[in-house]
Structure 1
Amino acid sequence: MNMTLLPEMATFVVVVECGSFSAAARKLGSTPSSVSRSVSRLEQALGVKLLYRTTRKLRLSDTGNEVYRSAAGMVESARQVLSLSGGAQHEPQGRVTLSVPKAIGHVVIHPLIPAFLARYPEIDICLRMEDRYMDLIDDGIDLALRITRSPSPGLYGKPLMAVEHIICATPQWLAEHGVPQHPHELRHHSCIGLGETPADARWKFRQQGKTIVVDTRGRYAANHTGVRLDAVKRHLGIGSLPRFTAREALARGEIVQVLPEWEFISSYTGDLWLLWASGRHMPGKMRALIDYLTEQLTGP
């Protein structure tokens, strides 16, 4: 093994995690040109292209992705060795970037963060709330929460909770307009949906293996779950909501579930998976957050 490449590997890991040569240079107390030369030496020694440089960001090659995972494990092992003191490790520390869908982030994850920060005073959290797909390596993500039934191959992770979509209305709306007994009766109600595409007005239901599609209409649509919840509470119609968004209003009786015996089929339905890129040599800061979210969201 060519041990002289270890510094270059460590520099390469910092470049990937920082997302640019200049940011890596600031973290390392070096210069962008020196960092660039270090990565070039590693590429030359390995005989492969690791990074594609563009004017806006860096992108890992397929080989670069594999090299990063192995090198990151090496760097973390070195950190653990250096943190040993009398056989005990220091408290987890550092910054963790967590990618999460907007509604989940606002309603489910954000309320849990203050207690985590109090428990781990040396760990900082960067919450990236995006509904678009975020690549863990290219976008500098440590952990990602995604609603899916089948996580992407090559990632490690665990399911934390089921995400269910339901339709709701206020007792006042139902008293004035009637309680639907079948999905087809929704055609006689003003329905509050996502409104991003025409397909969002086509609500799908399933019961005992039978699927029904209903073309709904309504005077109001919003692509924010909190806004739809408020619209329902203001008696504007029957709205589609993630159960986690509606839970408190349901418990208080402000709204009720409509057609509870039917499964509402939505792209925002499945399991909430916590995902990460590397299965070995996980940093203590990431393990702490994984364990905490598991504890909070999966229960005993």
Structure 2
Amino acid sequence: MDQLSAMATFVRAVETGSLSAAARSLPSSLTSVSRQISALEKHFGTRLLLRTTRQLALTDDGRIFYERAKSILGEVREIEAALSRDRHQPSGRIRVSCPSLMGRLVIAPLLGEFLRRYPLLSVDLLLVDRAVDMVEEDIHLAIRVGRLRDSQLVARKLADLRMIVCASPAYLARRGVPQTPRDLAGHDCLVFSDAPGSAEWRFAESAKADRKIRISGRLWMNSLDALATAAKGGAGTVRVPSWQIDADIRAGNLQRILVAYEPAPTPLHLVFQPSRLASPKTRAFVDYLVERWRATDPFRADPAVAS
């Protein structure tokens, strides 16, 4: 059995919704399509598809195999492109994931020049505030904030991000300025999260150690933009990236607090699977983003401390 050919047939059957449709689109015979899928099921010792007269349904194992097969076939296509004569002309579609606020304000404005520079490339930018599964979701590149736990990924560091705590001058005049992180227990905290619950903010306890403080938030949102707006309106204290609210601090709309307890900056990385390294389109996007970051680091500004 040619496993790559069988994988491609299986993926086509799932995406077209039937064996006969897969046979027509390949093109191939219905008998050949059915035989290849049966051979896969025999090889792996599990049922991958539930066949009915009208449609196909994936089993749990079939769903896992479908996602992995799609990824493997994509990598094979990239290797073929890398070894082809026109490897200096990146082409195809590249899928990139990024935190939503950063993607909207920082990454999206850079894509116009990238697309003009590489006219044969297309970009899917997925804005999500979670760590994506790069294999299952077929993501070529991901921009991640924080220390990396997956050692199997290749990483290029882009910048350091500083998280700061701030509040509106009116709120601080009314409630007082917290002098230590523990003082936040007596303040209204605005928390970035998908759902209410317990939250922790990290602060520097000493030159070598950080400490997490449990926060009891009165207002929870899954949008950093909305949280900053609420903070400017006097709703409470908020912890946000410094680059996001630099202009508001300089304009006096927000005041930076607990500066002496700010933790060390958090690294920002561009990560990708080692197998993607040979892909011309991956190299093109990585090199472009690193180039633009070095030229105009959007996170270089450090908001002033209001007196």
Range into which the TM-score falls when normalised by the shorter chain: 0.7 to 0.9
CA contact (8 A) 1:100 1:144 kept: yes
User: 1:130 Cα deviation (Å)?
Assistant: 2.3
Unaligned runs of 5+ in 2: 51-56, 297-307
> Helix, strand or coil: the match of 1:221?
strand
Q: Write the distance in 2 (CA, Å) between the matches of 1:214 and 1:144.
A: 29
Residue pairs, 1:3-152, within 5 angstroms: 5=2, 9=4, 12=7, 20-22=14-16, 29-30=25-26, 36=33, 40=37, 43=40, 47=43, 52-53=48-49, 55=57, 59-60=63-64, 69=72, 74-82=76-84, 84=85, 89=87, 91-152=89-150
Does 1:274 find its partner at 2:270? yes
Q: Write the distance in 2 (CA, Å) between the matches of 1:37 and 1:51.
A: 13
Change in Cα spacing, 1:233 to 1:14, as seen in structure 2 (3 Å) is farther
CA contact (8 A) 1:171 1:254 kept: yes
Q: Provide the TM-score with structure 1 as the length reference.
A: 0.73
Residue among 146, 154, 157 paired with 2:155: 157
Q: Write the distance in 2 (CA, Å) between the matches of 1:120 and 1:191.
A: 45
Does 1:187 find its partner at 2:205? no
Q: CA RMSD in A?
A: 4.1
Q: Write the distance in 1 (CA, Å) between the matches of 2:25 and 2:126.
A: 27
Unaligned runs of 5+ in 1: none
CA deviation profile, 1:65-121 (whole Å, cap 9, x unmatched): 59965x655543433454x2xxx6453121111122323322332232222222222
CA contact (8 A) 1:21 1:36 kept: no
CA deviation profile, 1:50-69 (whole Å, cap 9, x unmatched): 9955736954559x959965
Does 1:284 find its partner at 2:283? no
CA contact (8 A) 2:189 2:215 kept: no
Equivalenced residues, count: 281
CA deviation profile, 1:217-256 (whole Å, cap 9, x unmatched): 54x3322100001111222221121223223323444323
Q: 2:54 is matched with which residue? A: none
- Runs of 4+ off more than 6 Å: 13-16
Change in Cα spacing, 1:100 to 1:280, as seen in structure 2 (3 Å) is closer
> Helix, strand or coil: the match of 2:275?
coil
Q: 2:239 is matched with which residue? A: 240
CA contact (8 A) 1:96 1:124 kept: yes
User: 1:37 Cα deviation (Å)?
Assistant: 5.4
Change in Cα spacing, 1:212 to 1:98, as seen in structure 2 (3 Å) is closer
User: 1:139 Cα deviation (Å)?
Assistant: 1.5
Q: Write the distance in 1 (CA, Å) between the matches of 2:46 and 2:284.
A: 30
Whichever residue aligns with residue 120 of structure 1, its letter is Y
CA contact (8 A) 1:170 1:254 kept: yes
User: 1:129 Cα deviation (Å)?
Assistant: 1.9
Change in Cα spacing, 1:121 to 1:252, as seen in structure 2 (3 Å) is farther
Change in Cα spacing, 1:67 to 1:102, as seen in structure 2 (3 Å) is closer
Change in Cα spacing, 1:205 to 1:117, as seen in structure 2 (3 Å) is same
> Helix, strand or coil: the match of 2:114?
helix
Residue pairs, 1:205-216, within 5 angstroms: 205-208=203-206, 209=209, 211=211, 213=213, 215-216=215-216
Whichever residue aligns with residue 222 of structure 1, its letter is M
CA deviation profile, 1:153-204 (whole Å, cap 9, x unmatched): 322222222233221112333344332222233334322223623312x544
Whichever residue aligns with residue 276 of structure 1, its letter is F
Q: Write the distance in 1 (CA, Å) between the matches of 2:260 and 2:13.
A: 49
